[in-house]
Amino acid sequence: MKMIFLRSFVLAASSALMSAPVLATPDLVNGKTIDQQKCYACHAKKAGFGNGDMIYTRSDGKVKSLADLKKMVSLCNAELRLDLFPEDEADVATFLNQQFYKFKP
């Protein structure tokens, strides 16, 4: 009985993995939309300049690499309870990198 259950589970898991996309291409439009709707106002307030983009380009910024950028997007999502999916986080990080940081992948 256990063997049948295990075999069924393995087949179901394999099927699910094979039908899932390998890597999703980041969606820059989605990243920009999320930045404008969920990030900009908070950053404008936090930076104290009234311009939410200033936080990305300040000289004392904490983001020094693409890995740092991804961590910060994830941290903001968790701390502020933005309810972004992992692919949304990837879209935001890709948009911000293209728009402001220009880190090499």
CA distances to 7, 28, 47, 51 from 61, in Å: 52, 23, 11, 15
4 falls within a domain: no
CA triplet 25, 61, 27: central angle to 5 degrees?
Answer: 15
**Can you tell me which residue has the tokens 């200033």?**
54
What residues make up the domain containing 94?
A: 26-101
3 falls within a domain: no
83 falls within a domain: yes
Number of folded domains that form the chain: 1
Determine the pLDDT at residue 34.
96
21 falls within a domain: no
19 falls within a domain: no
54 falls within a domain: yes
> 88 phi and psi, to 5 degrees?
-65, -45
Grouped pLDDT means (10 residues each) for the chain, 105 residues: 54 52 82 94 80 84 94 96 96 97 93
96 falls within a domain: yes
